[in-house]
Structure 1
Amino acid sequence: MTDYSNLLRADNNQAAHMIHLVDAESFESWLNAQPERVREITAAQKFAGKGYEYAIIPGDGSADWSVIAGVANRSKLGSWCLAKLAEVLPEGHYRLADGKAGPAMLGWLTAQYRFDRYRRDENSTGARVLLTEEIAQIDPAVRLAEAVALVRDLVNIPAGDMGPAQLEAETAKVAEGFGARFTVTKGDPLEQGFPMIHAVGRAADKAFAPRLIELHWGDPAHPLIAIVGKGICFDSGGLDIKPSSAMRLMKKDMGGAAHALALARLIMGAHLPVRLHLLIPAAENAVGGNAFRPGDILRSRKGLTVEIGNTDAEGRLVLADALALAGESKPELVIDYATLTGAARVAVGPDLPALFTNDDDLAADMDAAGVEVDDPTWRLPLWDGYAEMLKSDIADINNAGEGGFAGAITAALFLKRFVPDQTKWMHLDTFAWRPSPRPGRPKGGEALGLRAVFHLLQQRYGNSTQK
């Protein structure tokens, strides 16, 4: 994982290059106050004060230079307004003219993310270190950046190196770091207790055998929250096999698990006063002689029977067994992340996780939290009228139904059947991938909806006094 610990430092008047920020309203007055030499230099670099633009302003000595950079709003910095600078400036130390970066610390850090597990980056540059007077915000910003990097790393690693066993190892590592209790269910106990997780993963090679990974943390006196993440480490589609073009990115089908694990890490790192139950159903949906078949009837942990309308709708099956277990402990809140449906991408595109919830107040809080931290989600309806699309003639429910309409909604309605009626629940159908780069957000695995949920939990539960 990228080491962010030294990229933000307390400003103790170290030598550093100054960064001056301007926006559309302040640029002209700033420019008019500069000597002619500076005006000519900025004009030569075609700097007009727009967002992500920058120019280098030479000083009296060769090392005495500063930066002028454009942002959307100088008085309210966003998460990504410094990200471009952190990508393109020479290595060295920098400080903002007013000493305060606020939420822009995140973009400064995430812009320096590198996924170099499989190659040496010949074009890599040294670190760009930002000095700040906001000392109390350094550690939280680093923890956020580390959580984002964890999602990116886990999603970017190919399926051959990130199967259920490796996902188990990554979860164990996080659990050990925070003194959490860690358990794994596999083999016969998995088949008996979580039959749908077992059925989805049973055709995979033994090295990629299915399992349910759990982490427990926190004071038993605190409110219980459950976080569930879809951990399909590779999805061939099963016997309803995907075309090769659709299979190419299926290493990211464990993106829900990556989000859930990163959120758990944030919760524990911030010492939120909650009791945490993390559940990751991990499997590979493979093709084999013992693969589950279209038309099979699976019995779930909850006891509901499920007719398999499509083996490529496997993510909801493993989530259903995990959600059923989570509900047995009567949590105050259940949150699940999943790269669940292509229909969600058609509806809201790759940037916005589709949000489903059974609580209107929770939906409003999530919307506000996402806007506040530049990590928006978009609510889609849990429209009960579509539940009939999941009817089965011979079982309690069908996993896919027919017709192809409202695919993200019917998937969420399927999951809803496995959540206790009175339990507040949020389901995020997230893409976990960025198809094209933006400042601070490279192409590849991406955390979408992670920071919004964490901010919501901070607002809902507050921070403990534990350090």
Structure 2
Amino acid sequence: MTSTTPALPAGLIAAADAARPRPLHVVQRADVDSWRAGQDARTQAWLDGHGFDGSGWIALPGDDGLAGALWVVADAHDPYAWAQAPAVLPPGDWRVAGADDARSACVLGWGLGAYRYTRYCSGGRAPARLVLEGGHAATLDLIAACNRVRDLVNTPTENMGPEQLEQVARDIATTHGAGFDSIAGDELLARNFPAIHAVGRASHRAPRLLQLTWGDAAHPQLVLVGKGVCFDTGGLDIKPADGMRNMKKDMGGAAHALAMAELIMARALPVRLTLLIPAVENAIGPNALRPGEVIATRKGLSVEIDNTDAEGRLVLCDALALAGEQSPDLIIDFATLTGAARIALGPDLPALYSNDDDVAGAWLEQGLAHHDPVWRMPLWRPYLRYLHSRIADMANAGSRMAGSVTAALYLERFVPEGQPWAHLDVYSWNDGDRPGKPAGGEAQGLRAAWAMLEARYR
């Protein structure tokens, strides 16, 4: 299959374009001593002189200075075992010697580790480049999907509001020959998306519902839904400064859904795809949503606003209602929905909720297999009592108890009974730099989700 990736990600270079690549000798940690014993006396003396303890990496000497490097890994099939290489190896082109059965992990980890967001500044030192040998189209598309999430989340809101998010989705649709529709402003009311309108009406940038459609009508239908809150002040229940600082990332769910849709089309997965993104800015203004108001939803349930900062579930519920009307094979939504999920699981583990054990089990299994873990949380329905309203069908928030669970239970009310559905409450962010996980926007659970979908539909 021919990849649609327009260019190689940073840190990767085609073999035909490489300039005198140096060898990177890859050795499992348990085999370092035997590898050392097979080297010439100069190399052994070099290792001893540097006190090399058999972990990490070390440059190797040559007649003209640098002959190559030794790279020691605990698990060559873990992409993050390779992710530090682009940043720490001397600049130039490198060809891996060894670990032939782990080349895909090497390419993936190298590509993830070489990423830098450079729209507003230089990227600093150029990364060391890995020479690509053999076909890696699927891995390159996967890197492109992860970097798409990162780019979208890292972009400041002035350049990634609802209009710009729509343009990105339009461009992706055009590239892949997909259909596209945008329902914006008061047209949301005319076409029965009142909750999306209610959240976004206070912004000078009109709220909208983005819809992309692609694929053969004879194939199973998959609906992806992504929370596209391009900035979240909290509304009238305003966030404190430290809570608002990184709220450009509140469209991280939309970024994941968009990247997944793009990956599905690039890899020609045999599904009939629908992508739904409610894109809004939760702003403060004279007509902002107020605590205590009761709003309508597409499903016909009335919702009392307990907290205007619980807005993500409001925009998602209209999109999920539309998704359910289509009776698809599967609905998946991605959302930076709750701080409670981060308190429960920390920043690295997205919280997975599903009403289908097979879907949840497959996602968990692929997460472990692909070093992209998620953690299943319970849809504990007795906690629906925390969403009780005395004047409406339900409230959008309530007790601080089980905040991530109650958010997922709220969403489930808008999914038809018996409809397979999964919800990923994802942080979409790295708080600091780690190999393969640079500070800023991050794709989490995406590679696992792709593996799960490919196994389900291929």
Q: TM-score, normalised by structure 2?
A: 0.95
Residue in 2 aligned with 1:107?
109
Which one of the candidate residues 229, 233, 242 is aligned to 1:245?
A: 242
1:140 aligns to 2:143 (yes or no): no
The alpha-carbon distance between structure 1 residues 67 and 127, as it changes in their structure 2 partners (threshold 3 A), is closer
1:150 aligns to 2:143 (yes or no): no
Q: Deviation of residue 90 (structure 1)? A: 2.6
1:187 is matched by which residue type in structure 2?
Answer: G
1:55 is matched by which residue type in structure 2?
Answer: I
What secondary structure is seen at the aligned counterpart in 2 of 1:26?
Answer: helix
Deviates more, 1:304-313 or 1:97-106: 97-106
Q: Deviation of residue 12 (structure 1)? A: 11
5 Å matches for 1:164-179?
Answer: 164-179=162-177
Which one of the candidate residues 385, 391, 396 is aligned to 1:394?
A: 391
1:433 aligns to 2:433 (yes or no): no
5 Å matches for 1:172-251?
Answer: 172-192=170-190, 193-205=192-204, 208-251=205-248
What secondary structure is seen at the aligned counterpart in 1 of 2:415?
Answer: coil
Measured against aligned partners, the alpha-carbon deviations of 1:156-196 in whole angstroms (never above 9, x if no partner) come to 11111110000000111111110000100012221231000
1:31 aligns to 2:36 (yes or no): yes
Residue in 2 aligned with 1:465?
none
Deviates more, 1:211-220 or 1:432-441: 432-441
What secondary structure is seen at the aligned counterpart in 2 of 1:221?
Answer: coil
1:56 is matched by which residue type in structure 2?
Answer: A
1:81 aligns to 2:81 (yes or no): yes
How many angstroms apart in 1 are the aligned matches of 2:441 and 2:151? Answer: 7
1:119 aligns to 2:121 (yes or no): yes
Q: Deviation of residue 5 (structure 1)? A: 7.8
Measured against aligned partners, the alpha-carbon deviations of 1:277-326 in whole angstroms (never above 9, x if no partner) come to 00000000011110011011011001000010000000000000000011
Post-superposition, which runs of at least 4 consecutive aligned residues in structure 1 deviate over 4 A? Answer: 10-14
How many angstroms apart in 1 are the aligned matches of 2:15 and 2:269? Answer: 25
Residue in 2 aligned with 1:454?
450
Contact 1:233 1:284 in 2 (8 A): yes
Which one of the candidate residues 347, 352, 373 is aligned to 2:349?
A: 352
Measured against aligned partners, the alpha-carbon deviations of 1:356-413 in whole angstroms (never above 9, x if no partner) come to 0001121111111111111100000000110111111111110002x20000000000
How many angstroms apart in 2 are the aligned matches of 1:201 and 1:369? Answer: 36
Deviates more, 1:190-199 or 1:8-17: 8-17
Contact 1:211 1:282 in 2 (8 A): yes
What secondary structure is seen at the aligned counterpart in 1 of 2:284?
Answer: coil
What secondary structure is seen at the aligned counterpart in 2 of 1:144?
Answer: helix
Contact 2:18 2:93 in 1 (8 A): no
1:18 aligns to 2:20 (yes or no): no
Contact 1:5 1:142 in 2 (8 A): no
1:72 aligns to 2:71 (yes or no): no
How many angstroms apart in 1 are the aligned matches of 2:401 and 2:16? Answer: 56
2:431 is matched by which residue type in structure 1?
Answer: P
1:48 is matched by which residue type in structure 2?
Answer: D
Q: Deviation of residue 439 (structure 1)? A: 1.0
Which one of the candidate residues 285, 305, 308 is aligned to 2:302?
A: 305
Contact 1:191 1:198 in 2 (8 A): yes
Residue in 2 aligned with 1:416?
412
How many angstroms apart in 1 are the aligned matches of 2:173 and 2:18? Answer: 38
Q: Deviation of residue 11 (structure 1)? A: 7.9
What secondary structure is seen at the aligned counterpart in 1 of 2:84?
Answer: helix
Percentage of identical aligned residues: 50
What secondary structure is seen at the aligned counterpart in 2 of 1:125?
Answer: coil
Contact 1:2 1:114 in 2 (8 A): no
Q: TM-score, normalised by structure 1?
A: 0.93
Deviates more, 1:95-104 or 1:374-383: 95-104
2:177 is matched by which residue type in structure 1?
Answer: G
Q: Number of residue pairs matched?
A: 450
Q: Deviation of residue 6 (structure 1)? A: 8.0
1:323 aligns to 2:320 (yes or no): yes
Contact 1:355 1:427 in 2 (8 A): yes
Q: Deviation of residue 4 (structure 1)? A: 1.4
Q: Which runs of 5+ in 2 are unaligned?
A: 1-5
The alpha-carbon distance between structure 1 residues 102 and 331, as it changes in their structure 2 partners (threshold 3 A), is same
Which one of the candidate residues 263, 278, 282 is aligned to 1:281?
A: 278
The alpha-carbon distance between structure 1 residues 279 and 48, as it changes in their structure 2 partners (threshold 3 A), is same
How many angstroms apart in 2 are the aligned matches of 1:27 and 1:393? Answer: 68
2:64 is matched by which residue type in structure 1?
Answer: G
How many angstroms apart in 2 are the aligned matches of 1:370 and 1:42? Answer: 37
How many angstroms apart in 1 are the aligned matches of 2:109 and 2:50? Answer: 24
How many angstroms apart in 2 are the aligned matches of 1:268 and 1:312? Answer: 34
How many angstroms apart in 2 are the aligned matches of 1:343 and 1:14? Answer: 50
Contact 2:11 2:114 in 1 (8 A): no
The alpha-carbon distance between structure 1 residues 165 and 26, as it changes in their structure 2 partners (threshold 3 A), is same
Q: Deviation of residue 13 (structure 1)? A: 10
Q: Deviation of residue 339 (structure 1)? A: 0.3
1:116 is matched by which residue type in structure 2?
Answer: T
Quote the RMSD (CA, aligned, Å). 1.8
How many angstroms apart in 1 are the aligned matches of 2:215 and 2:114? Answer: 33
Residue in 2 aligned with 1:97?
97
